[in-house]
Amino acid sequence: MAESRFSETQPFRERRASAARAGVPPYRRRATDRVAKSAFVLDPGCSIDGVTINVPTLRAAYGEVARRALSEIGFALFTLNLDHLATMRSNARFRAAYQRASLVTADGWPVVWLANRGNVRLERTCGSDLVDPVCKSAAKLGIPVFFVGPEPSSQIYALSALRKRYPTLNMVGRYAPSISTMPTVEEADAVAKRINDSGARLCFVCLGAPKQELLVDALAPLCQGVGFLCVGAALDFISGHSRRAPYWLQRAGLEWLWRLLGDPKRLAPRYLASAHALILLLLRSNRDAMRNK
C-alpha cells in the first residue's frame, strides 16, 4: 500500500467560479467554500484486499459529505470492516457494490491496523460516529435529510432524539421498509421514489450489511444528486434500542468483544469468519512482502 498523501479536492477559485456560474446563492457559496477548505480525501492507493479506502479520518468524512451535499453531487459512503471483507469472499454482488462506492472509510481496528502495516495512517471512522457530525453540519447548512431504516420503533425514537439535538435539522422524510437481504429492483424503485419526492440531498441508510450497501448501490443511479451514508446500527444506538460499547472499550479496539458478549449466538459465527479472513490477509501480506525483498 502506498504512503498517504492528502490534497484539497478542488482549487478554491475554481469552486467559487463554478458556484457563481451555477447561480448558487452567496450564502451557499460561502458555506461551500468553508466546508471545502477542510474536505480532504486520500489519494487512491490504500487498498485492503482490493477495496480502496479514500477517506482517512472522521473529519475528512463529514467535511466531504457536506461539500458534496452542498454541490448536489451524489455519492455512496461505505464503512469497511473485517466482516465486510469476509462477506465479499462469497458475495460477488457485495464486492462489486464496494468497487462502485464513492467514499470508503476504515471501520474497525483490524482494517486500520492492516493499513498501518502498509505505512498508511488511517483513523477509525464507523457509521455510528458519522451521524451526529453530519446532522450537525446539515442543520447549520440547511441540507435536507432522509432516513431509511431501522425498524419503525427504533427509527421514531432516534429521530426524536436527533430533533432535540439539532432543532433546525431539515428532516424531509423517513422510511422503515422490509427489504430483502438481496434487494430487488422493485424494492429499490419504491425507496428511490420516496427519496426523490422528498427533495433530500442526504440519506442515512440503517439496515446493516450487506443489505444497506446493496440497496444504496441500486439507489445511487436512481437518485441523482443524493448522498447516501451506510451507518448500520447508528440509529439503534441513538434510540437506546441497542447499547454501544463504552468509549474506553472503543478506544482499546474491543468494541467487537462488547458486541459478541451481548449477542454471542448471532455474532460468534460472523467473528470466526472475520478472524479467518484476517489470517488470510496477513498471510497474503507477508507473502507479498517476501516477494518484494
Q: What are the C-alpha distances in Å from 277 to residues 84, 161, 272, 274?
A: 10, 37, 9, 5
Q: What is the mean pLDDT of residues 131-154?
A: 97
Q: Tell me 258's DSSP state.
A: H
In the prediction, which pLDDT does 132 show?
Answer: 97
Say how far apart CA 19 and CA 250 lie, in whole Å. 40
Burial of 11 (0-12, 13-18, 19+ CB in 10 A): exposed
% of the chain at pLDDT higher than 70: 81
Could you give the CA distance from residue 27 to residue 50 in angstroms, rounded to a whole number?
Answer: 41
CA dihedral 192, 170, 181, 99 (to 10 degrees): 80
In the predicted structure, residue 25 carries a pLDDT above the cut 80: no
Residue 7's nearest CA partner among 79, 64, 73, 71 is 64
Does the pLDDT of residue 41 top 60, yes or no? yes
Examine the pLDDT at 209 and tell me if it is beyond 60.
yes
Question: 55, 72, 123: which is closest to 64 by C-alpha?
Answer: 55
Task: Decide if 108 contacts 125 (C-beta within 8 A).
Answer: no
**Helix boundaries (H) for 6-107:** 12-21, 26-37, 58-70, 82-88, 92-100
Mean pLDDT in residue range 187-212: 97
Give the pLDDT band of residue 266 (cuts 50, 70, 90): confident
Would strands 40-42 and 171-175 be described as parallel, antiparallel, or unpaired?
Answer: unpaired
**How many whole angstroms separate alpha carbon 11 and alpha carbon 190?**
38
Record the pTM. 0.84
Give the domain ranges of the chain. Answer: 6-239, 254-292
Among residues 67, 203, 204, the alpha carbon closest in space to that of 137 is found at 67
DSSP H helices, 76-184, are: 82-88, 92-100, 109-117, 127-141, 152-165
Q: Is the pLDDT of residue 17 over 60?
A: no
Contact in structure between 65 and 39 (CB atoms under 8 Å)? no
